[in-house]
Amino acid sequence: MRSDARSQQPAFAGLWSRWRDIETDQEVLSATIIVTNANETLRPLHDRMPVILEPENVAPWLSGEAGTDLLTPAAEEKLTSWPVSTRVNKTGGADDATLIEGKR
């Protein structure tokens, strides 16, 4: 998946929390990326996708001023997908850029 070439790197909506484990009394930092239903571009690959924030919505999201209305699938024209080698799922292999670039 690649975001629109005219834009910055995609910003995913997420949440984080700092809490204390009651069994160990150690501080724990937790984070999650929020997902939504997949758009038409990604639906053949998976039924969910990360929420990708538009650049103008990043600051409101981080400040807590944004609402749940931002938790929607990305616009179709914002993403491109292409096949890549299944070897990208294997660890320990050579770092071969052609595995990710794929055929376009």
pLDDT top residue among 78 and 84:
78
Token digits of residue 35 = 């997902």
Instruction: Please give the pLDDT value at position 1.
Output: 44
pLDDT tens readout for residues 56-65: 999 999 999 9
Q: How open is the CA angle 35-38-42, to the nearest 5 degrees? A: 125
Of the candidates 75, 85, 88, which has an alpha carbon nearest to the alpha carbon of residue 41?
Answer: 75
In this prediction, residue 8 has a pLDDT band, given cuts at 50, 70 and 90, of low
Average pLDDT, the chain: 84
Instruction: Please give the pLDDT value at position 82.
Output: 78
Mean pLDDT of all residues in 67-75: 94
The DSSP call for residue 68 is: G
95 Cα distance to chain centroid = 22
